[in-house]
Amino acid sequence: MRNYSERSITSERIRYKRSRSVLGSSSLALALTFRCSFSIMAYDGVLLGMGNPLLDISAVVDEEFLNKYDLKPNNAILAEEKHLSLYDELAAKYNVEYIAGGATQNTIRVAQWMLQIPGATSYMGCIGKDKFGEEMKKNAAVAGVNAHYYEDETALTGTCAVCVVGGERSLVANLSAANCYKIDHLKRPENWQLVEKAKYIYIAGFFLTVSPDSIQLVAEHAAAKNKVFMMNLSAPFICEFFRDAQDKALDYVDFVFGNETEARTFARVHGWETGNVEEIAVKISALPKASRTHNRITIITQGCDPVVVAADGKVRLFPVILLPKEKLVDTNGAGDAFVGGFLSQLVQEKSIDDCVKAGCYAANVIIQRSGCTYPEKPDFQ
């Protein structure tokens, strides 16, 4: 993918080809520069994410380790007392990598990488005032994300154990500082301006466990200003144990993301007598909605099976990019990356087909690498 300024210059050269006889070369160059700068400004802060920033502690483990801590593949849970020794054992027994993560932060970083437009994305969440928090800030800056962290002085930066077996990941999150986010931080003028500036707002369901009042405030703003508000089902336990908060937020959601396991859990919790993912996606899309400006669209990923997109009572299926098993490194962040790729095209007002294509591309790149990481530049076409 060429960066935005290159694409803009190419299009503007074509547009001004007939004007060369009227404008001198210096005037033409100035006009091109102005138009490109104006276009980039139009994307300034266009996408905002809010969530739980976590430092991923990632390692390839064995089945015995999963069984010891009662962990399941392709699942995500919050740490309990029985998991507290897991983090030290993981670091002592296995070859670990430390990667800035958290579901929403992953998505925003991937969207920024795909866009290659300076300042296009912003992010808010809570970290601790410690070395891991400093590392998180550096990582966000390198990724090009405008991060406004709330820094808690009493809690350590949150961590997430990423236990990989056969390419499948099991996540155990110790939220710590991430659990300390306060709506007061959101209301500060320098932070609320990120909300005002954004045209698209994305929040993973995990944030429901931390600050549902912040979600509600942003959701109501999005509805009032006809902005696009998006959320992710995120994990089965969110659908099961945070149903009321999730249902309240869903009233405002224009795009719902999730995977097949989360979709089936959502259906079961709501008493829907079906395990058919396509039917569930249609039902989610048809749930009551506070804003009628945008019809809700539901996007459900299914691993190597087609992506399900439901809108207006209809379903479309999109094939994913199949990957030979020997190239699969780590599925951690695959769903986050899919959403990031999807949003990178959505904020450019591309078609749903293009959005899904970009999502599949981004997920395919991430699962061939350790953690939610990516090469310097995308080559998405």
pLDDT number for residue 54: 94
- Report d(CA 278, CA 184) in Å as an integer: 40
CA 368 to centroid of chain Cα atoms: 18
Q: What is the pLDDT along the chain (381 residues), one digit of tens a residue?
A: 434 444 443 444 444 344 444 445 555 455 445 455 545 678 999 999 999 999 888 899 999 999 999 999 888 899 999 998 999 899 899 998 888 889 999 999 999 999 999 899 999 999 999 988 998 999 899 999 999 999 999 999 999 999 999 888 899 999 999 999 999 999 999 999 999 999 999 999 999 999 999 999 999 999 999 999 999 999 999 999 999 999 999 999 999 999 999 999 999 999 999 999 999 999 999 999 988 788 999 999 999 999 999 999 999 999 999 999 889 887 878 999 999 999 999 999 999 999 999 999 999 999 999 788 899 999 998
pLDDT recorded at residue 6: 44
Cα dihedral sign, 341-345-346-350: negative
Give the model confidence (pLDDT) of 142-156 as tens digits: 999 999 999 999 999
CA atoms within 13 A on the CB side of 306: 11
Task: Give all strands of the β-sheet with 159-165 in edge-to-edge order.
Answer: 75-78, 168-174, 159-165, 54-60, 97-101
pLDDT value at residue 21 = 45
Instruction: Provide the token pair at 252.
Output: 């405002």
Amino acid letter, residue 342: F
Report the C-alpha gap between 58 and 66 in whole angstroms: 14
Q: Which of 209, 302, 204 is nearest to 253 (CA)?
A: 204
Give the model's pLDDT for residue 330: 79
The count of other CB atoms within 10 Å of the CB of residue 245 is 18
| Amino acid (one-letter) located at 118 | P
Which residues neighbour 263 within 8 Å (Cβ) at sequence distance 6 or greater? 233, 277, 280, 281, 284, 300
pLDDT of the residue at 247 = 97
Contact 157, 133 (CB under 8 A): yes
Q: Burial code of 52-82, b = ≥16 C-beta within 10 A, e = fewer?
A: bbbbbbbbbbeeebbeebebeeebbbbbeee
What pTM value is reported for the model?
0.85
Q: SS3 string of the chain?
A: CCCHHHHHHHHHHHHCHHHCCCCCHHHHHHHHHHHHHHHHHHCCCCEEEECCCEEEEEEECCHHHHHHCCCCCCEEEECCHHHCCHHHHHHHHCCCEEEEECHHHHHHHHHHHHHCCCCCEEEEEEEECCHHHHHHHHHHHHHCCEEEEEEECCCCCCEEEEEEECCEEEEEEECHHHHHCCHHHHHCHHHHHHHHHCCEEEEEHHHHHCCHHHHHHHHHHHHHCCCEEEEECCCHHHHHHCHHHHHHHHCCCCEEEEEHHHHHHHHHHCCCCCCCHHHHHHHHHCCCCCCCCCCCEEEEEECCEEEEEEECCEEEEECCCCCCHHHCCCCCCHHHHHHHHHHHHHCCCCCHHHHHHHHHHHHHHHCCCCCCCCCCCCCCC
Tell me phi and psi for residue 44, to 5 degrees.
-65, 115
Write down the pLDDT at residue 331. 82
Angstrom CA distances, 310 to 36, 179, 296, stand at 36, 33, 9
Q: Is 336 a catalytic residue?
A: yes
- Which of the following is catalytic: 44, 152, 336, 354? 336
Question: For the chain, which domains are there?
Answer: 45-53+101-157+175-367 (3.40.1190.20)
Q: Report pLDDT for 39.
A: 59
Question: Looking at residue 27, what is its pLDDT?
Answer: 55
Rounded Cα–Cα distance for residues 213 and 234 (Å): 18
239: tokens are 């659908």
pLDDT of residue 74: 84
Q: What are phi and psi of 59, to 5 degrees?
A: -155, 150
Q: How far apart are CA 249 and CA 237, in angstroms?
A: 16
| Among the listed residues 213, 209, 220, 205, the one whose alpha carbon sits nearest the alpha carbon of residue 186 | 213
For position 252, what pLDDT does the model report?
97
Contact 113, 3 (CB under 8 A): no
